[in-house]
């Protein structure tokens, strides 16, 4: 008989089949209710999952709240995470606890919720691997350098994804999550007003789109103003993001570079033309993302409250 410790690192589709068989139905009901209150739930939950997995692994460390504002969520790169993502996981955890106390990790609930918001926005359905435990470290100081920046070029993007065992194709597919959600003007203002001494506007931007962005984001705009990442179908999970890149309508430098760099352009063209290819690649990438740095077996803990360590 194997000891628990020897089975570490193994996630499985039916991890809670005997200990909490209804967990996925419970989470989906909470996610549905939350989406009916605000659409922001969808991009917020998906982005929360990505930000969680890239720092300390997929262990719900990003959800910890600190009285001193020095937890992972307090880092500069995480301040723009929308509260609706956190709220979704906290509410889902409360609903799960009511039926299966102390059994299901916050990390797994976030993984299930991220899958559900993709599907409920029109994206592909897939089975989510489970069995993660919640991490015991959440520090703002450990975030910098672990998340991709909107100014990154292809080499920088590939490098930071490769650290998490994700390929260039995985990275491009996950970037497709920018078919949903929104960004604050400050994250791309340099492409409109100060790109280079000779070109204030980034020449890879479609000129009409650039004018539209300048109207929505004038130079001294309120920092709270946010605009859609996908100007065409901002509430649908589809491959229009990639069609936008082909048309020069990628919002971030790190979006548009996927089309302008010859090394990644063929994948963007394929995803733009074949939604099935994108969906398949996205499922593969989300599954691999969900394995990043996971704690299993006797590592970590099963938090009772997603915002606080048990001890």
DSSP output for 177-197: GGGS-EEEGGGTTHHHH-S-S
Mark the binding-site residues, compressed into ranges: 52, 55, 57, 59, 61, 72, 148, 178-179, 230, 233, 238
Mark the binding-site residues for substrate, compressed into ranges: 148
Nearest one of 91, 60, 92, 62 to 79, comparing CA atoms? 62
Given the residues 28, 34, 47, 51, select the one marked as catalytic.
51
Q: Check: CB of residue 48 under 8 Å from CB of residue 62.
A: yes
51 catalytic residue (yes or no): yes
Cα–Cα dist 118/38, whole Å: 15
Tokens of 220: 């001294």
Q: Check: CB of residue 24 under 8 Å from CB of residue 92.
A: no
Mark the binding-site residues for Ca(2+), compressed into ranges: 52, 55, 57, 59, 61, 72, 179, 230, 233, 238
Angle at 302 between CA 297 and CA 303, to 5 degrees: 155
Mark the binding-site residues for heme b, compressed into ranges: 178
pLDDT by residue for the chain (311 residues), tens digit each?
Answer: 333 333 446 899 999 999 999 999 999 999 999 999 999 999 999 999 999 999 999 999 999 999 999 999 999 999 999 999 999 999 999 999 999 999 999 999 999 999 999 999 999 999 999 999 999 999 999 999 999 999 999 999 999 999 999 999 999 999 999 999 999 999 999 999 999 999 999 999 999 999 999 999 999 899 889 999 999 999 999 999 999 999 999 999 999 999 999 999 999 999 999 999 999 999 999 999 999 999 999 999 999 999 999 98
Per-residue pLDDT at 224: 86
Nearest one of 173, 172, 204 to 188, comparing CA atoms? 204
Cα–Cα dist 307/87, whole Å: 10
Cβ contacts of 39 within 8 Å, gap of 6 or more:
235
Q: Residue 228: in which H helix or E strand, if any?
A: strand 226-228
Per-residue pLDDT at 289: 98
Tokens of 239: 């491959």
């Amino acid at each position: 008989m194997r000891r628990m410790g020897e089975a570490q690192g193994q996630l499985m589709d039916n991890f809670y089949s005997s200990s909490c068989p209804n967990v996925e139905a419970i989470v989906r009901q909470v996610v549905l209710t939350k989406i009916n209150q605000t659409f922001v739930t969808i991009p917020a939950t998906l982005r929360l999952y990505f930000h969680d997995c890239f720092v300390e692994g997929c262990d719900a460390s990003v959800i910890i709240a600190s009285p001193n504002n020095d937890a992972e969520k307090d880092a500069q790169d995480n301040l723009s995470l929308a509260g609706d993502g956190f709220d979704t996981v906290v509410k889902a955890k409360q609903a799960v606890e009511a039926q299966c106390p102390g059994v299901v990790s916050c990390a797994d609930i976030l993984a299930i919720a991220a899958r559900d918001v993709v599907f409920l926005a029109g994206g592909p359905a897939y089975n989510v691997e489970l069995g993660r435990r919640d991490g015991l470290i959440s520090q703002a100081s450990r975030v910098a350098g672990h998340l991709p920046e909107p100014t990154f070029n292809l080499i920088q993007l590939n490098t930071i994804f490769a650290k998490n065992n994700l390929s260039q194709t995985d990275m491009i597919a996950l970037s497709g999550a920018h078919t949903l959600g929104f960004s604050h003007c400050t994250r791309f203002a340099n492409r409109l007003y100060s790109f280079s001494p000779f070109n204030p506007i980034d020449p890879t931007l479609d000129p009409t789109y650039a004018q539209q962005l300048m109207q929505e984001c004038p130079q001294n705009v309120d920092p709270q103003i946010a605009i859609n990442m996908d100007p065409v179908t901002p509430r649908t999970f589809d491959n229009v993001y990639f069609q936008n890149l082909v048309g020069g309508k990628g919002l971030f430098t790190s979006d548009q570079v996927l089309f302008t760099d010859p090394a990644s352009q063929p994948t963007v063209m394929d995803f733009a033309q074949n939604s099935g290819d994108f969906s398949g690649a996205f499922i593969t990438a989300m599954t691999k993302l969900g394995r990043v740095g996971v704690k299993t077996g006797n590592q970590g803990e099963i938090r009772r409250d997603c915002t606080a360590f048990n001890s």
